[in-house]
């Protein structure tokens, strides 16, 4: 199962990916997290790894090489969503060379690529690599791929969600975040993917949860569950430490069991 985690900037996408990875792992799934955010670099420590892997971009010759292939594609009249950058057929997680993966029992992390320097150009090559990787990678029945997306909706323009099984939107308590969830639901439909629903995050009270739920329901956005505001999460993010799931982990386990593993609510 391939799942994209999207949402407004700062809503908690990376935190939710980390909690989901832990919850799927507890249920015997072999989890790979794909870091598809070209800006932030803290996912590896949040997952408890000592370093990030070499970006997949490097396995394709680096960003410049991918840009050249894209320019060749444009000159043939191809749009970005049709471009082929990877040579060969299907990919599997086991086939990736070890320098592009960091892993421990049941959990692996791969990353598309980051912006490193001023004036190095846009992040379009990262989008193309992520889209094609998601299309080509084949998973076994007990494998789950979680994609930590960059903030906002630009990735929908690149069709990155087209080959995933489910899109999840993280919603924090703000109207802006609610409107974006609605927009993401519509955009998911237009790329032909399934919008699984919204995870409410950083909720501080039952009244806030009720208000947020009502707003989402009025826009027909399905709700998967709530992760409340936990000081423990703030503390690990402040110190750059691996996230200890704690109570948030139990909240996420319920979401994963009910909405992804088919257990009764």
Minimum CB separation from Mg ion for residue 210, in Å?
A: 27
| Binding site partner of 12, from ligand ATP, Mg ion, none, Cβ cut-off 5-8 A by kind | ligand ATP
Distances (CA, A) of 71 to 65, 125, 130, 168: 10, 11, 17, 32
Cα separation of 108 and 94, whole Å? 11
**Which positions touch ligand ATP (CB under 6 A)?**
7, 9-15, 37, 40, 151, 201-202, 227, 229-230, 233-234, 237, 248
83 Cβ contact partners less than 8 Å away, ≥ 6 residues apart: 69, 70, 73, 128, 132
Minimum CB separation from ligand ATP for residue 222, in Å?
A: 20
Q: Which is nearer to Mg ion, 13 or 182 (CB)?
A: 13
Q: Which is nearer to ligand ATP, 43 or 96 (CB)?
A: 43
Cα separation of 72 and 76, whole Å? 6
Cα separation of 71 and 77, whole Å? 10
Minimum CB separation from Mg ion for residue 148, in Å?
A: 6
**Which residue reads 């749009």 in tokens?**
79
DSSP 172: -
Minimum CB separation from ligand ATP for residue 235, in Å?
A: 8
Q: E strand or H helix at 104, and its extent? A: strand 102-104
| Binding site partner of 111, from Mg ion, ligand ATP, none, Cβ cut-off 5-8 A by kind | none
Distances (CA, A) of 123 to 78, 136, 149, 158, 182: 18, 20, 13, 11, 25
Q: Which is nearer to Mg ion, 41 or 217 (CB)?
A: 41
Asked if residue 33 lies in contact with residue 148, where contact means CB atoms within 8 angstroms, the answer is yes
Minimum CB separation from ligand ATP for residue 74, in Å?
A: 29
Q: Which is nearer to ligand ATP, 96 or 227 (CB)?
A: 227
| Binding site partner of 202, from Mg ion, ligand ATP, none, Cβ cut-off 5-8 A by kind | ligand ATP
**Which positions touch Mg ion (CB under 5 A)?**
13-14, 40
| Binding site partner of 163, from Mg ion, ligand ATP, none, Cβ cut-off 5-8 A by kind | none
Q: E strand or H helix at 109, and its extent? A: strand 107-111
- Structure-block tokens of residue 111: 């990353």
Q: Which is nearer to Mg ion, 90 or 238 (CB)?
A: 238
Minimum CB separation from ligand ATP for residue 200, in Å?
A: 9
| Binding site partner of 234, from Mg ion, ligand ATP, none, Cβ cut-off 5-8 A by kind | ligand ATP
Q: Which is nearer to Mg ion, 85 or 233 (CB)?
A: 233
């Amino acid at each position: 199962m391939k799942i994209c985690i999207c949402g407004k900037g700062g809503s908690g996408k990376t935190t939710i990916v980390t909690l989901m990875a832990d919850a799927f792992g507890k249920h015997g799934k072999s989890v790979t997290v794909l870091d598809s955010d070209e800006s932030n670099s803290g996912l590896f420590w949040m997952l408890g790894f000592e370093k990030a892997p070499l970006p997949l971009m490097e396995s394709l010759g680096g960003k410049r090489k991918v840009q050249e292939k894209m320019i060749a594609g444009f000159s043939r009249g191809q749009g970005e969503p049709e471009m082929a950058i990877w040579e060969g057929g299907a990919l599997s997680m086991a086939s990736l060379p070890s320098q592009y993966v960091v892993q421990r029992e049941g959990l692996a992390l791969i990353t598309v690529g980051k912006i490193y320097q001023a004036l190095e150009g846009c992040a379009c090559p990262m989008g193309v690599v992520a889209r094609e990787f998601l299309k080509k990678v084949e998973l076994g029945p007990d494998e789950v791929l979680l994609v930590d997306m960059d903030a906002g909706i630009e990735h929908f323009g690149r069709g990155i969600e087209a080959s995933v099984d489910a899109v999840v939107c993280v919603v924090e308590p703000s109207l802006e975040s609610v409107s974006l969830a609605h927009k993401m639901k519509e955009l998911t439909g237009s790329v032909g993917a399934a919008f699984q629903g919204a995870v409410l995050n950083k909720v501080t009270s039952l009244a806030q949860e009720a208000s947020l739920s009502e707003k989402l329901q009025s826009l027909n956005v399905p709700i998967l569950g709530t992760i409340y505001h936990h000081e423990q999460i703030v503390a690990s993010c402040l110190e750059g430490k691996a996230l200890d799931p704690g109570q948030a982990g139990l909240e996420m386990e319920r979401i994963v069991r009910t909405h992804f593993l088919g257990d009764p609510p």
